[in-house]
């Protein structure tokens, strides 16, 4: 029971802090935190593939961008769409594309899988980039944010920053809890076995392809949720949301936070966004702030070199270091 309490203590503290955050701040910091929580959902969706199943995808942003575009394209030009049909529709668009991509890409392995997912993402990117469907390079605007209404009665207004903040927080908590339960289920144990040794799982009688396909589709759907939220937050989408840069960025979040842990994905998203914001601070870095990607890249390289298990692995790494030095001191 104590072990369970220790594992739950940090997530509960984080959720409590995020619940109280709007009480002490408004404006930029509230919007920034909403953005980071959306990135955390996006990172959690990729964690299901990379950390849980061992499938490294470089095309995950396609599902993120498709749902964002679906949110805008399915919304009426006059009046607000109802959240209760628009959100499932946007997620369904990403899930359907994930079903199609997964059916083909999962027949490959290793670097071939990475390249096939990248190719499918680039195909989706150029569909919106080079056609009128997505407004070309200029993107398209969401005229009205969706309304949360039942039987014609409005429940909440997502146009209000505080309301939207709590809606995003609720989505983040639900996604985290869903994945935590999923990975502790029989399905999650099979995914862990596939990541460890797929051939052994096949020898044990498991048909691994349906499990990987299901995980791939789920990851695409959850990335679609993040895409829906960012479209509602910004009221604007463009093709860059589907680019390989976005897929690479979310993969860096997992590396920075620590792969194989859901809390690592969330921590990595917050750390990545905060570092990005810090390195763009011209008060500290002056004119060099415009070269913030160089500073961010160097920091991530250092983190990988000195913290191979990411930020989430620092406590265990520290305990190992202490134990090693204590034993060496005792021998002396």
Digit-coded pLDDT (tens) for 224-249: 999 999 999 999 999 999 998 899 99
Is 60 exceeded by the pLDDT of residue 110? yes
In terms of Cα–Cα distance, which of 225, 219, 224, 234 is closest to 171?
225
Per-residue pLDDT of 156-200, as tens digits, reads: 888 889 999 999 999 999 999 999 999 999 999 999 999 999 999
- For residue 270, give the nearest of 38, 12, 13 by alpha carbon: 38
Token pair of 223, please?
A: 């990335």
Helix or strand holding residue 237 (H, E): strand 236-237
Chain mean pLDDT for the chain: 89
Beta-bridge partners for 154: 149
Range of the domain at 70: 24-240
Mean predicted confidence (pLDDT) in 109-113: 90
User: Quick one: which of 67, 125, 93 has its CA closest to 243?
Assistant: 125
Contact 89, 74 (CB under 8 A): yes
Residue 287 maps to a domain: no
- Asked whether the CA dihedral 119, 105, 103, 219 is positive or negative, the reply is negative
In a domain? residue 68: yes
Nearest to 75 by CA among 143, 129, 167: 143
Residue 331 falls inside a structural domain:
no
> Does 289 fall in a domain?
no
Could you tell me if residue 65 is inside a domain?
yes
- The tally of domains found in the chain comes to 1
Q: What is the distance between the alpha carbons of residues 6 and 180, in angstroms, rounded to a whole number?
A: 15
Which range is least confidently modeled, 33-47, 166-180, 239-253, 288-302?
288-302
Q: Are 237 and 61 in contact (CB under 8 A)?
A: no
Q: Is residue 95 part of a domain?
A: yes
> Among residues 101, 47, 104, 75, which one has the least CA distance to residue 223?
47
Q: What whole-number distance in Å separates Cα of residue 206 and Cα of residue 209?
A: 9
Nearest to 126 by CA among 117, 137, 115: 137
| Beta-ladder partners of 140 | 237
Q: b/e map of 273-308 (b: 16 or more CB within 10 Å)?
A: bebeeebbeeeeeeeeeeebeebbeebbeebeeebe
CB 176 within 8 A of CB 106: no
pLDDT, one tens digit per residue, over 63-100 is 999 999 999 999 988 888 899 999 999 999 999 999 99
Q: Three-state SS for 148? A: strand
- Orientation angle between helical segments 186-203 and 161-183, nearest 10 degrees: 40
Residue 204, in any domain of the structure: yes
Three-state DSSP state, 153: strand
What is the C-alpha to C-alpha distance for residues 286 and 254, in angstroms, rounded to an integer? Answer: 29
Residue 234 lies in a domain: yes
The radius of gyration of the chain's CA atoms, rounded to the nearest angstrom, is 21
């Amino acid at each position: 029971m104590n072990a369970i309490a220790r594992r739950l203590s940090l997530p509960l503290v984080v959720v409590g802090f995020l619940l109280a955050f709007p009480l002490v701040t408004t404006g930029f910091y509230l919007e920034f935190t909403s953005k980071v929580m959306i990135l955390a959902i996006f990172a959690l969706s990729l964690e299901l593939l990379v950390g849980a199943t061992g499938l490294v995808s470089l095309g995950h942003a396609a599902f993120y961008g498709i749902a964002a575009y679906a949110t805008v394209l399915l919304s009426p030009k006059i009046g607000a769409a109802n959240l209760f049909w628009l959100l499932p529709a946007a997620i369904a668009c990403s899930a359907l594309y994930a079903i199609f991509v997964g059916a083909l890409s999962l027949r490959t392995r290793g670097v071939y899988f990475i390249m096939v997912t990248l190719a499918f993402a680039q195909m989706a990117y150029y569909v919106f980039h080079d056609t009128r469907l997505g407004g070309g390079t200029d993107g398209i605007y969401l005229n009205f944010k969706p309304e949360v209404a039942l039987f014609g009665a409005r429940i909440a207004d997502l146009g209000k920053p505080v309301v939207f903040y709590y809606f995003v927080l609720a989505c983040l908590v639900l996604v985290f809890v869903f994945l935590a339960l999923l990975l502790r289920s029989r399905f999650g144990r099979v995914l862990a076995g596939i990541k460890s040794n797929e051939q052994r799982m096949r020898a044990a009688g498991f048909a691994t392809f349906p499990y990987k396909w299901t995980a791939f589709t789920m990851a695409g759907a959850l990335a679609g949720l993040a895409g829906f939220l960012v479209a509602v937050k910004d009221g604007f989408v463009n093709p860059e949301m589907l680019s390989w840069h976005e897929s690479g960025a979310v993969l860096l979040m997992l590396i920075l936070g620590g792969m194989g842990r859901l809390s690592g994905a969330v921590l990595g998203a917050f750390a990545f966004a905060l570092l990005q914001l810090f390195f763009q601070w011209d008060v500290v870095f002056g004119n060099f702030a415009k070269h913030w990607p160089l500073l961010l890249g160097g920091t991530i390289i250092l983190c990988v070199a000195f913290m191979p298990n990411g930020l989430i692995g620092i406590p265990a790494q520290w305990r190992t270091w202490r134990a090693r030095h204590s034993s060496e001191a005792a021998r002396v």
